[in-house]
């Protein structure tokens, strides 16, 4: 089957429900990421930090490739910072990302991960929930956090590089695998999480990590 966009090369990756060749798929993913960065107002920031962790294997390489493609017209410095592996819950993992420092921090969260996290948090009735994750960009403590892959699943990143997400929280990882299975036939599933997250708009949030507060204080930042 030929790519539905260029109608020249063999289609190998499904992006947004369309069968695309690797080149057109990469261009589409880059276009999405560039739009997020442009809308965030961070296009002129010179120093960019990419966060890396063992739980998001390969994500830093994809972000670096996206950065290289997006940054051709802009002179910027890229730094990859690896976070220490932390056991425990998925909340602990997210907290470690959102308490990182820098002028502009690129987060590795993909749409499939965010969909799974919202389902998991709501179904468990647990807190805090990191509602800010469902915005393409947000400010915390003077740092601008941007999620270039917020509208892209790891299934759509195949042309950019292999990304594997294993948080170590077995129940969450099982749910994440289920979400990925569903995406093969239901790509529209990715668009449900941001809309559902709007249910939490107006909730009080922690000024350090952005979590919705339970009892007036974020338990992890209080430690």
Query: Tens of pLDDT along 199-218?
Result: 666 677 787 888 876 556 67
What is the reported pLDDT for 87? 63
- The residues with which 14 forms a beta bridge, in sequence order, are 19
| pLDDT at 101 > cutoff 60 | yes
What is the reported pLDDT for 7? 94
pLDDT tier at 175, thresholds 50, 70, 90: very high
What digits encode the pLDDT tens for the residues 32-80?
Answer: 998 898 888 877 777 889 999 999 999 999 998 887 776 655 556 788 8
Please, is 10 exposed, middle or buried when counting C-beta atoms within 10 Å of its C-beta (0-12, 13-18, 19+)? exposed
- Cβ(118)–Cβ(104) under 8 Å? no
Q: Which of 9-18, 69-78, 129-138 has the lowest mean pLDDT?
A: 69-78
What is residue 168's three-state secondary structure?
coil
Contacting residues for 43 by C-beta, under 8 A, at least 6 apart: 37, 74
What is the reported pLDDT for 24? 96
Q: Which of 40-44, 143-147, 176-180 has the lowest mean pLDDT?
A: 40-44
Contacting residues for 93 by C-beta, under 8 A, at least 6 apart: 53, 55, 86, 167, 168
Structure tokens at 60: 């830093």
What is the reported pLDDT for 105? 93
DSSP state of 172: H
3-state helix, strand and coil shares in percent for the chain, rounded to the nearest 5: 40, 15, 40
């Amino acid at each position: 089957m030929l790519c539905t966009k260029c109608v020249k090369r063999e289609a190998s990756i499904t992006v947004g429900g369309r069968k695309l060749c690797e080149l057109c798929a990469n261009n589409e993913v880059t276009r999405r990421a560039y739009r997020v960065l442009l809308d965030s107002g961070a296009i002129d920031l010179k120093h960019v930090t990419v966060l890396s962790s063992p739980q998001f294997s390969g994500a830093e390489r994809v972000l670096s490739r996206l950065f290289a493609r997006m940054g051709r017209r802009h002179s910027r410095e890229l730094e990859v910072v690896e976070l220490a592996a932390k056991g425990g819950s998925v909340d602990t993992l997210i907290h470690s990302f959102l308490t990182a420092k820098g002028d502009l921090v690129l987060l590795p969260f993909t749409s499939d991960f965010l969909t799974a996290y919202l389902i998991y948090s709501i179904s468990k009735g647990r807190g805090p929930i990191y509602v800010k994750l469902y915005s393409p960009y947000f400010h915390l403590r003077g740092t601008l956090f941007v999620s270039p892959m917020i509208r892209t699943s790891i299934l759509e990143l195949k042309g950019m590089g292999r990304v594997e997400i294993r948080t170590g929280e077995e129940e969450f990882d099982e749910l994440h695998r289920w979400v990925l299975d569903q995406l093969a036939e239901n790509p529209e599933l990715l668009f449900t999480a941001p809309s559902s997250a709007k249910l939490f708009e107006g909730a009080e949030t922690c000024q350090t990590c952005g979590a919705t507060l339970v009892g007036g204080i974020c338990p992890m930042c209080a430690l």
